[in-house]
Amino acid sequence: MIWIITKVVPTALLCIYKKHFMKTDLDIQQEIINNLRSNSDLKAAAIGVAVKNGVATLSGVARSVKEKFIAQELAKCVDGVIAIAEEIDVNIGPTYMKTDVEIAEAVIAALKRENLTSDKIKVIVEHGFVTVEGEVDSQNHKELATSVIKTLISPLKVFNSLKVREKNNRKQMRKASQLVY
């Protein structure tokens, strides 16, 4: 009887191998371009894509922060992309340009829709740049605030300086540790 000994490779390692070594940069670039073209929320022709060693560079002009965010997300989901260099400028035409007051009102309304407003959250808008400061109950709320604001047309950049309340943070950590054991 002959025994053939083979080395067992865990599936996860095989997936990592396929993900990072089977696609060429050109394949990755083409898949990102196809994703951008297939999304109806983007004007894909205005966004350029270059890939070198798995690092995707997105460049060009988006009509809103939302478009810029969508382009980043579409590039992130392509197998073989290990990093993204995002160089997309936001060029809001005069039709869509809002004053800082209008942007602040839109941000507050968007946060209210998600039940993220309180006297502990402050919104600061300066020349189209939005900063949110204060406290929220969880890391999820902090991340939700950023994503909600990014979907608005006018903000040029979002800075999230929200802090997670210590008391709630400890409770969440305690709950998480109880789930682990």
- The predicted pLDDT at position 176 comes to 52
List the domain boundaries for the chain.
Answer: 11-90, 100-170
Q: Does domain 100-170 match CATH 3.30.70.890? A: no
Per-residue confidence in pLDDT tens, the chain, 181 aa = 444 444 444 434 434 444 445 789 999 999 999 999 998 878 766 899 999 999 999 999 887 778 888 899 999 999 999 999 999 888 766 656 778 898 889 899 988 988 887 677 889 898 888 899 988 888 998 888 888 888 776 666 787 888 888 765 555 555 554 554 4
User: What fold characterizes domain 11-90?
Assistant: Histidine-containing Protein; Chain: A; (3.30.1340)
Nearest to 51 by CA among 34, 75, 68, 69: 75
DSSP line for 140-153: HHHHHHHHHHHTSS
**Backbone conformation region of residue 54, classed left if phi is above 0, alpha if psi is from -120 to 50, else beta:** left
Same CATH fold, 100-170 and 11-90? Answer: yes
pLDDT at 154: 64
pLDDT at 58: 94
Contact by Cβ (8 Å): 75, 87:
no
DSSP state of 98: -
pLDDT of residue 49: 95
